[in-house]
Structures are given as structure tokens and as C-alpha cells.
Structure 1
Amino acid sequence: MTESDQPTPAAAPSFLPGPPIDRTRVEGWQRWVRSRELFEPAPILDLPQYQQMAPRRRRLYDLHRLATHSSLPVLSTPMSDAVAWLVKARIEDGAYSHKTGIRTGVMVNGGGAQGKTETVCAALAAFEAEWLEVNEYMNPQAIAGTRDLLAPVAYVRCPVKATPVSTCQRILDFYGEDYKNMRQEDLIRTVNAAISSHATKALVIDDITRLKLHRESDQDVLDLLLEVMSMSVTLILVGVGIPLSGLLRRGRFDAATRQWIIPPVKDRGRSPNPEAATQHERRFEMIELEPFSYDSRERINAWGNHLAALEGTLRLLHDTEGMLTSGSMPEYLFGRTNGVVGLLEKLIQRGCRLAIEDGSERLDADLLNRCRVSPTDLPELDAESGEQPVIPPVKNPPAKKPKRGRNATFDDSGPAAESAG
């Protein structure tokens, strides 16, 4: 057999994922920005079309459906739209300003699995794409004769036990800068130089509430963040329970105004830098990314609209319209997830797999009662930092009691009864 006679290897299925993307590195972040909307979900087929497929084609289609349900898009909600608007507005206010000095930052607060990271990253990606286009994909601050480096956005995650040194190292890891044997002062200067040379306009530090502020090193990180803000870069901090963490003074959420109320300072305490939280309060605007709720008609309708949009992303062989929104399903799904979008996504993903495997091709309460969402489904969330959401238990309907036989103790067994027998 000649080389030309050999069979041509089949192309890999288009739904297979590529190499893992690490958004905490500049190459990974920029690859994610370019590829985040390129995934093509499985085509919509009905049962007769599916049954006409050859077995191998059918199996490939099932795998494509599983990939689709494992890659459900991040659907916008009224709450996430408000967060995205504020983040993008603050970044644009700073990036297009000709003034020097500190830019107003944003703190995004919310519970675990509520989509804070993805909402912020999507807003940053939209800003970056527009900023690159406006600047013709060149660094407007580049020095003649030097490499044209450009990273409008930097995304890092706070170390579990942060120090100024480890926080600087995380930032420099994003840029791929060498920091071996550097002292803290050198690290801070290198961070400043990296932000400037890459023309970074927004720096995101995720999981910021891993700073507990009971350690002196945590207080030093606050000072470092204030130093970073003087570099004319907009700082976006994302975390769980920010008002109670010490980054700001302890506050309470006002349900009427949908804002956090920060009381005046009464006791500075023993903090080595007692003014740090107050300075952060003045330099940041905080917004809450809340879960869905059932306390008003408007919010109930928003939950229903979200479920209707989610129906359109499912690839089951029965018509999915009304599958999540009809009857008691909205109330059932809210009870299973407390309105947390991350828990809803995991529940629907697991339910779709089961519906495909057992051939029912439909989601209902009976099928979803067989699905459990556990903390192991959210491995990226640190339980010790309060990032794991409360997962409601499955409330199975009570088992029906067997009917008891009639008590015949007092039945008449006299002559009339015997003659009747």
C-alpha cells in the first residue's frame, strides 16, 4: 500500500476542548478572551432525527450534547448586568481619564457560586476588546525601540494566606516577570514597572476575602493595594462577605436601598494600620451580586425569564420549551438552589446527563430528585474562606403509607352471618 492509499485519519470532533486555559497568566487570559465565545453547542434534533443516525454518529452526538451541558453559557441576570455595568464604567472612567492619581476601584461582593468571577471577567473582556481596537492593537505607552507589550487587563487570585510578597509574586506571575531573590521593596517596584510597561488599565484580585486581617501581613497587603492604586490602574476586588471581612468596616445590607451601610468608626482596635479599611472605603465603590429571590413579583418573573433562557441552551430530544418554567418547576428549582445560579447550573448539568443515559430525554422533579449537588462539584471554592454556598437538601416526597386492613374484631359472626357465608 502506497502512502497515498492509506486512509486519511478522521478529524477530531469540533467539540473537544483545547489545552487548559489559565487566566492568571497573560497568555492564558488573552487566549480566553479570544476563544470564550467560539464553542458551538450541539445542533437541536428531535427523536426521529436521532433514531435515523448510525450508532457511531449517535454516540458522537450524545458526547457533543454532554459537552454542551458542561459548557452552559453564563446567562446575564438583572443583578449581574448591574455589576458588569459598574465594573466597565469604572474601568473606562479611569482608562480614558487624562488626569494622574488614584482611580476609583470596585469591590464586588456576593455569596459563593453566584457568578461573580465570570461576570467581572466578561465585563473586563468586553473592555479589553474595545480598548485594543481603539489603540489599533498597539501599546500607546511603548517606548520607541522596545518590545510592544500590551496587557490592558491583569487577573490574579489572592493566595490563601496572603503576604505582600506572595501577592506581588502572583501579580508578577501574570506578566511572566522574574522575581527570584527579590526583597519586598524590589517586588513592589517591579509590580509598578510591569503595570506601566504593559499599559494595564484594570487589575482584578479575586478571592480577596481570603485576607482575614487578623494577621499583620494581611494589613500589610492592604497597604500594598493602596500603593497599587496610585499607579493609575483601576483595582477590582472580588470576594465573599467583604463588608464583614475588615476590608471595609463591618456593615449591614439595606434591603430597601439594595446598598451596604457602613457605620462610622468607633473603635480603631489594635490593627497595625487602623486607617487602612477606612481608606479602602473612600477609594472603592462596592456592589452586591445577589442570588435570585422570591420576595416580589418582579424578582419571581426574573427567575422565570432566567429559566426560560436556560431552556434554550439544553439539548434534549424532547421539546425543552416549558421544561423548566411550567407547573411547579420554577418553585422546585428555586428550592433546590436558593436561586444561586452556580448550583442551578450544576443541577441541570447532572440532570441532563441522567436524562440522556436513561433515555427519558426530559427534566422533571422525579428525575432531578435523583441528582445531588455537593461541595465536590465546586472544587475551586475555598470552604474555609466562606466561598462554598449552602446547598439545600433534596426534599423527597413522603412515602405513601400502606392501607391498613379493616378491623374485623367486632364483626357479627352469628347465625345470620354464617347463613350469608
Structure 2
Amino acid sequence: MSTADGIEPFEGDDRQYSPTRLPGWLQEVNRPDRVQPEQLTRGQLTDLSPRQLLLYNDGRAVWHANIGPIHTPQLIALHEDLEEIVESNRHDGDKTKPAALVDAYPGLGKSTAVRAYGRSLYRKQIALRGETAPSGDRRVPVIYIALSGNTQIRGLNASICRFYGLPVTGDADTLAERAVDAVLSMKTTAIIVDDVHFLAGSKSNSARMANQLKYLSNVFPVTLVYVGVGVQQRGILREGFSQQESLLAQFGRRTTPLTLRSFEVETEEGRLEWRTLLKTIERQLVLAERFPGMLAEDLSDYLYARSTGHFASLMSLINRGCLRAMRRGHERLDEDLMNQVKNDAAAEEARLELEAAIKAGLLTTRPASHPPQRRSA
């Protein structure tokens, strides 16, 4: 159907959904991989009509905004550890299944990495056991919930009910019974609980946090995968001898801590990882004047200083840079253009110190095995 002016409507490839609801989670799990837009030259861009250029740039914008997840060494290691924990938890219902806690600094992509593992596990279970559970319900092997500030036990249970599309009325016990029935009938084997640090407002509340997480493991016959920031710093996995510390020790015995590290360039191995990451991203950029080494050679030090080695900061910077390059007709990333791009506050705050260290020769992102190369003019 055309609009009044004869233009065909175009929705684009934006995929808006909430993974904390079953319909949205199914979209994330079952979505087809995006197809990278065709790489056009400047001449080919010039030959496009205004409408064709508008559509092409729209496709490039949504592509750059959704690059990844990239299988970095950090992500691969995390997935291997999660697979070992989750898929070895074949315990009967009378036994508590050990949990996993992915605890890392903000901006490292831990939520994206864990959801990517959840998506893989979901697909694997469906391929193995089919889409329908013995109860006749849809099989939902993995669910994803995210907590908000000051969550209590009732809020935990309500989040799980809300995911399944169940009523969220009643007290904590009523909600728990409702959620457990859904877990059992839909054959859920793993629950990802994101932003778990919201269970405690301060370090002094570590016992309360441990108590609520222990409650989850006792009530739900699944593997729980917690994702949070600074959870271990609250002392939640430490052992002790007082009554409070005994509770923490019990939870610590049932939980395996994992992390997702940032990129570092103090070692040769770290510098090689950084270079590989930039080369991988570079190949996925759709800019008319993209060239080999645009990121990994010309912008390696610059991008590290601007992102401080944090994946989320890096991808935001590159995504925004590509959008600016397209809108300005620049069609490449370089320092002049990137200096106009704003990034998150944490990255910008740490930027000056890293830039100073790089300029003074105290820090470099370049591996010794890959010295800088001059491009011919």
C-alpha cells in the first residue's frame, strides 16, 4: 500500500521488543541474522536516487547499531564456563542445582554475552526435545528477567510471572506457586536474572541478598544464572562463622563466580586481542571509504583511549561515528571525525589519562609482531 504521495511505506529492520517478556524473548531467540548491507563505492552512492540513498543509509544505520555479539576470547571463555555449569546440572528435583554469578564492571557487555548464551541454549534444547512440552504447553527452556531497584522476594516472583504472561496479583507465596507451575509445565531449565545487584541497596545488605537468592534456588528447580555489578564486593560469597556469615557461606558453596574482563594492552597477548577485535569490527563496517587498517592501524591507540578497553563504550563510539560519517558524506572513520563524537561519561572521564600515557610512549595498543604500517597516499 502506497501513501497519499505515492511513496511505498518502509519500516526498516528495527526490532523493538523486551526480552523480559516471553514474546520479546522469543523474538530474540528466533530472530534471523541480519544481512550486512552491500558495500557501495562513492560513485555508486552518487548514482542512487534520493529515495534509494535514504533507504540504503537506513539499512546501514540499523546494521551498525546491532553489530555483534562478537566472539571475543572473553565471550568464548564465558560461554564455555556457563555451558559447563548449566549443562552439567542434570540433578533430580530433590537436589539444589549450583548457580552461576557473572559479576563484572559496567560496560563490558556481560548482559549481551549471557543473553547470547541463553539464546544458544534455548535453540539447542528445542532442537533436541522439540517445541512442545509433555504438558502440551510451549517448551521454554530459558527465561530472562531483569530486576529493578530495591527488589524484594515478591518482586522477584512477580518478574518471573510477568515474563510468562501470568497474573502478578497476590502475595509472594502465591506468585511463587504460579511461577513454579509455569517453570514445570514449560520445562524451563535455566533462569537468567540480570541486574541482581538491585537486590541489596548497600554492602550491609549482603545477607538479605544471599537470603533471597537462596530462596530462589530452593523454590525453582532450575539453574540460576545471575548477572550483576559488584556483587562479590558485598561479601556475598565469603565464608564465616557467625549466623549471618553462615548464610553467606552456604550461598557461596552453591554459586560459581564468573566474570568478563575488559581489554588490556599491557601484555602482548592483550594487544593482539585488541587488534583482532578491531579488525573483526572493521570488516563489518559499511562505509564507502572503509579500508583495511582503518581501525586496527590508524585508530587503534585512539579507540582504546576513548573506550578504556570497555566493549560497550567502543561499540557506541564506532556506531555513532559511522552514523556521523554517513550523514556528513565522509564515509570513513578518522580522528578528526571521531573527535566530534560524544561517548559515555565514564569513558570520557578516563580518556585524558590514557591519552597522556600513549603520547608519552608509556602505553601502546600495537603488538610488537605488527609494527605500524604506512599507507601510501
Residue 213 (structure 2) pairs with residue 225 (structure 1): yes
2:252 corresponds to which of 281, 287, 296 = 281
Residue number in structure 1 paired with 2:81:
86
Name the count of aligned residue pairs. 352
Residue number in structure 2 paired with 1:59:
54
Residue number in structure 1 paired with 2:240:
265
SS of residue paired to 2:321: helix
Residue number in structure 2 paired with 1:25:
21
**1:265: how far off?**
2.8
2:338 corresponds to which of 343, 352, 368 = 368
Residue number in structure 2 paired with 1:169:
158
1:105 counterpart letter in structure 2 = A
**1:359: how far off?**
2.0
**1:52: how far off?**
1.8
Deviations 1:1-59 (A, max 9, x none): xx9xx99863626x3324x2111111211121111x43223211111221222222122
Is the CA contact (8 Å cut-off) linking 1:23 and 1:29 kept in structure 2? Answer: yes
**1:88: how far off?**
2.2
Greater Rg over alpha carbons, structure: 1
- Written as runs of structure 1 = structure 2, the 5 A alignment for 1:168-317 is 168-180=157-169, 182-212=170-200, 219-220=207-208, 222-230=210-218, 231-249=220-238, 264-265=239-240, 268=242, 273-317=244-288
2:85 counterpart letter in structure 1 = R
SS of residue paired to 2:350: coil
**1:100: how far off?**
4.2
Is the CA contact (8 Å cut-off) linking 1:117 and 1:238 kept in structure 2? Answer: yes
Q: 1:348 to 1:9 in 2, by over 3 A?
A: closer
Whichever structure has more helix as a proportion of its residues is: 2
Tell me how far apart the structure 1 counterparts of residues 297 and 259 of structure 2 sit (CA, whole Å). 30
Tell me how far apart the structure 2 counterparts of residues 313 and 25 of structure 1 sit (CA, whole Å). 30
2:323 corresponds to which of 353, 362, 371 = 353
Deviations 1:239-288 (A, max 9, x none): 11121023223xxxxxxxxxxxxxx537x4xx8x4433212210111111
Deviations 1:88-125 (A, max 9, x none): 2222112x455741111110011111110111111111
**1:156: how far off?**
0.7
1:172 counterpart letter in structure 2 = C
- In the superposition, the TM-score normalised over structure 1's length comes to 0.77
Residue number in structure 1 paired with 2:98:
104
**1:189: how far off?**
2.6
1:132 corresponds to which of 96, 110, 126 = 126
Q: 1:48 to 1:106 in 2, by over 3 A?
A: same
Aligned-residue CA RMSD (Å): 2.7
2:317 counterpart letter in structure 1 = L
Tell me how far apart the structure 1 counterparts of residues 63 and 39 of structure 2 sit (CA, whole Å). 11
1:10 counterpart letter in structure 2 = E
Is the CA contact (8 Å cut-off) linking 1:163 and 1:217 kept in structure 2? Answer: no
Residue number in structure 2 paired with 1:404:
none
SS of residue paired to 1:204: strand
Tell me how far apart the structure 1 counterparts of residues 302 and 205 of structure 2 sit (CA, whole Å). 46
Is the CA contact (8 Å cut-off) linking 1:157 and 1:206 kept in structure 2? Answer: yes
Is the CA contact (8 Å cut-off) linking 1:169 and 1:179 kept in structure 2? Answer: yes
352-361 or 210-219, which moves further after superposition? Answer: 210-219
**1:129: how far off?**
0.5
Is the CA contact (8 Å cut-off) linking 1:42 and 1:65 kept in structure 2? Answer: yes
Tell me how far apart the structure 1 counterparts of residues 189 and 323 of structure 2 sit (CA, whole Å). 42
**1:190: how far off?**
2.5
Is the CA contact (8 Å cut-off) linking 1:213 and 1:246 kept in structure 2? Answer: no
Structure 2 unmatched runs, 5+: 357-377
Residue number in structure 2 paired with 1:156:
145
Is the CA contact (8 Å cut-off) linking 2:144 and 2:192 kept in structure 1? Answer: yes
Q: 1:320 to 1:280 in 2, by over 3 A?
A: farther
Structure 1 unmatched runs, 5+: 250-263, 376-387, 398-421
Residue number in structure 2 paired with 1:411:
none
Deviations 1:121-180 (A, max 9, x none): 11111111110111122214x2xxxx4232111111122111111111111111112131
Q: 1:216 to 1:171 in 2, by over 3 A?
A: farther
Residue number in structure 2 paired with 1:43:
38
Is the CA contact (8 Å cut-off) linking 1:369 and 1:394 kept in structure 2? Answer: no
**1:214: how far off?**
5.1
2:300 corresponds to which of 302, 305, 330 = 330
SS of residue paired to 1:392: helix
Tell me how far apart the structure 2 counterparts of residues 216 and 374 of structure 1 sit (CA, whole Å). 30
- In the superposition, the TM-score normalised over structure 2's length comes to 0.85
